[in-house]
Structure 1
Amino acid sequence: MSIKLKKLNEQVMVITGATSGIGLATARMAADGGAHLVLAARDGDALDTLALELRQRGADVATVAADVGNPADVAHIGQVAMERFGRVDTWVNNAGISVYGKNEAVALEDMRKVMQTNFWGVVHGSLEAVKLMKGRGGGAIVNLGSEVSDRSVPLQGTYSASKHAIKAFTESLRMELHKEDAGISLTVVKPSAIATPFPNHAKSYMEHEPDLPAPNYAPELVAQAIVHAAQVPERDLYVGSHAKLTSMAGYLMPRAVDRFMTRTMFGRQQSDQPNSSVRRDALHTPDAAYELRQRNDSDHRVVERSPYTAFEMRSVPAKTMLLGGALLAAWALTRRPWERRVWHA
């Protein structure tokens, strides 16, 4: 069975972590594109408010208050999707949380919670989606990784580990489904730093408030990549050229990147504001103060376009032609002068 994905306006799409940041941007974009939606998040009140907004735009929406770290909750998401719409065409595993601090300082309980949500939430969602898609025409599973899926950063060791694990699990599952010819596409989306309330949701052990290192890309760019992967089979999609460059540099020059991050990333992940002793976070329970917010209040300039990501989402023939042209130009420039002479008969 070859992978044949439906157009967005013909799809039933499940989105976890739908009430904030990337999940919220994706829910709104998918609704505007005509998809039927099953939205999941921990905060039921925020889900109800979002569903009302999207229904007023004409979208058909079902909601499920769920913690993706709990397999029973994820099974309930699938049950609601089948009862309401009879199928699932795309399942987006987006829910994610983080904790900032040196690995020695972070409580094991908090590390386990990050892994339970970020990694096990993807495992639970992916396996539920496979169960619902197999034998029903296939579909797309879109898992939210990160640029730290390829290259870890200090002060977010557990978050980096969870995103590494998502990449490894998705690759393994992809090969198994390909062997079965199951007709299911699996994509890992790897965003750079995105201008969402992500630091506000996180728990922090640092001296100053968490911050996102520049450049910060718009969450709508990630939503575009997710919606694209729902309709076109892709293996990986990097959102922002910075994510791709970080990945390549980490692979080609790991020690140099270690030194660079040691010098820069301790400061760039903290603002100049002291970490409040009464600071709330959404690690173990949702924080209503930052629900239904697509972007954060940071002073960083937001990058609204990514030519690299737009190139990634081009058709295969177009990408092949452009890449081939670039390689041909590079080959021509590196030839010796006498090899570039034009010989006349």
Structure 2
Amino acid sequence: MSAQRVAVVTGGSAGLGRAIVRELADRGWDVAILARGEDGLAGAVSDVQSRGRRALAVPTDVADSAAVDAAAARVEAELGPIDAWINNAMVGVFGEFLNTDPADFERAMQVNFFGFVNGTRAALARMTARDRGTVVQVGSALAHRGIPLQAAYCSAKNAITGFTESIVTELLHNKSKVTVSQVDMPAMNTVQFNWVRSQLPDHPQPVEPIFQPEICAAIVVDTAEKPRRRVWVGSSTVLTIIGNRFGSRILDVYLARTGYSGQQAPDVTEPMLADNLYEPTPGDQGARGAFDDKAKSTSVQMWAIRNRPAAYTAAAAFATTAGVLAVTALASLGRRATK
């Protein structure tokens, strides 16, 4: 990787993307931000520049493949070769599938899935020629387990998983040094839940437990700097993925009972923002949403994946101690039995 590192973040003007932009700049990266809203883009540029790094805002609808490729060309012309491309942009449609306008569903898929396809294509077209670079797909626990009221989002995240697996195998076949990672996220306290297009009677909310976007952003940047094929963020993500593999029917029933109320917050009375499905929402909304009082800043699982050597050492020490105690207990029982 070059001494002057360049990253692209799609959807970097708000929510998790904004937190990723800040984290990258804190670690010395120059950052290009691809998003639609001019106010959020300006805020993200200011965040990067205040940290002493170069920033470039490129107004882009990631659903437009030609626009994404043109944005990548501009980034390389103005900032230099792209070292990391982070696909993160998303829009939301909350409501039952049969009540969702087909055009809204398709628009969500265009952004949430084809936006990742377009970003990956633009990145790989440049990275494979140099035989270096990394792409990070921001996935979700919902890539592995669909829930009610979010059929479009769950479909897109599931499709990203299959798409990424195909790309990884092609890169391996061609013996490329370019890497593609997928980082699956838990529920986060982001502005997403203030500007989704929603049919719900109450304010949308992420399914608890909820995490602050900054800790999740740190793990995304960890992955960009030290690529790993898959990263599951948060114990809730791990339990969701593994639980669905072994008890999908149980989860069907459980989510049918709890998935509606669990995604609504009747106690949140602040009005929703204008949705951003087709047009950007005015204003600079930053990274966090309306659930600071419920959101966690870390977890044991998150600490462990960020500190793997220490976690492995602790696990080995625990296993060794447990083994010694077990042997001691068995020996004691043996002595008593011979008396």
Judge same fold: TM > 0.5, yes or no: yes
* Alpha-carbon distance, 1:86 to partner: 2.7
SS in 1 for 2:97: coil
Q: Which moved more, 1:77-86 or 1:188-197?
A: 77-86
CA drift of 1:48 comes to 2.3
Q: CA deviation at 1:300?
A: 4.1
Give, in whole Å, the separation in 1 of the partners of 2:239 and 2:271: 37
Identity of aligned residues (%): 28
Structure 2 counterpart of 1:94: 88
Q: Which residue pairs with 1:298 in the alignment?
A: 291
Superposition deviation, residue 334 in structure 1: 10
1:70 pairs with 2:54: no
In the alignment, which of 259, 263, 274 is matched to residue 265 of structure 1? 259
Q: Secondary structure at the match of 1:212?
A: coil
Instruction: Identify the range of structure 1 (67-76 vs 291-300) with the bigger mean alpha-carbon deviation.
Output: 291-300
Contact 1:216/1:301, CA 8 A, preserved across alignment:
yes
Distance in structure 2 (CA, Å) of the matches to 1:313 and 1:184: 22
For the structure 1 residues 300 and 212, does the alpha-carbon distance in structure 2 shift closer, same or farther, using more than 3 Å as the test? Answer: farther
**How many angstroms apart in 2 are the aligned matches of 1:173 and 1:72?**
20
Q: Residue type matched to 1:292 in 2? A: Q
Cα RMSD, aligned residues only: 2.8
Partner of 1:55: 49
1:46/1:212 CA distance change after superposition, 3 Å: same
Q: Deviations over 1:114-169 (max 9, x none)?
A: 11001000000011111111131411100111110111110101100100011111
In the aligned structure 2, how far is the partner of 1:250 from the partner of 1:15?
30
CA 1:102 to 1:277, structure 2 compared with 1: closer, same or farther past 3 Å? farther
Conservation of the 8 A alpha-carbon contact between 1:216 and 1:300: no
Q: Aligned partners of 1:103 and 1:334: how far apart in 2?
A: 54
The 1:278/1:127 distance shift into structure 2, 3 A limit, reads closer
Distance in structure 2 (CA, Å) of the matches to 1:179 and 1:321: 35
Superposed counterparts of 1:230-269, under 5 Å: 230-269=224-263
CA distance in 1, matches of 2:322, 2:149: 39
Change (3 A) 1:61 1:323: same
- 1:339 to 1:275, Cα distance in 2 relative to 1, 3 A: same
1:117 maps to what in 2?
111
The alignment status of 1:200 with 2:194, answered yes or no, reads yes
Structure 2 gaps of 5+ residues are none
Alignment partner, residue 161 of structure 2: 167
Give the letter aligned to residue 298 of structure 2.
R
Measured after TM superposition, the shift of residue 312 of structure 1 is 2.1
Which whole-Å CA distance do the structure 1 matches of 2:194 and 2:248 have between them? 30
1:211-253 deviation per Cα after TM superposition (whole angstroms, max 9, x unaligned): 1222110101111111111111211112211111111111111
How far residue 274 of structure 1 moved from its aligned partner, in angstroms, is: 9.5
Residue matched to 2:301: 308
Q: Distance in 2 between matches of 1:202 and 1:278?
A: 8
Equivalenced residue count is 334
Report how far residue 276 of structure 1 moved: 10
Q: Which moved more, 1:133-142 or 1:268-277?
A: 268-277
Q: How has the CA–CA distance of structure 1 residues 283 and 324 changed in structure 2, closer, same or farther, with 3 Å as cutoff?
A: same
Q: Is the 8 A contact 2:22 2:47 kept in 1?
A: no
Q: CA deviation at 1:59?
A: 1.2
- Measured after TM superposition, the shift of residue 333 of structure 1 is 9.9
2:23 alignment counterpart: 29
Q: Give the 3 Å change call, closer, same or farther, for CA 276–52 of structure 1 in structure 2.
A: closer
Gaps of 5+ in 1: 1-5
Q: CA deviation at 1:319?
A: 6.0
Q: 1:154 and 1:276 mapped to 2: Cα distance?
A: 24
Cα distance in 2 for residues equivalent to 1:261 and 1:28: 35
TM-score, structure 1 as length reference: 0.88
Which segment is superposed worse, 77-86 or 100-109?
77-86
The verdict on how the C-alpha distance between 1:284 and 1:327 changes in structure 2, with shifts beyond 3 A counting, is farther
Describe the shift of the 1:277–1:200 C-alpha distance in structure 2 as closer, same or farther (beyond 3 A).
closer
Change (3 A) 1:324 1:200: same
Provide the residue aligned with 2:138 in structure 1: 144
Aligned to 1:283, the other structure's residue is in SS state: coil
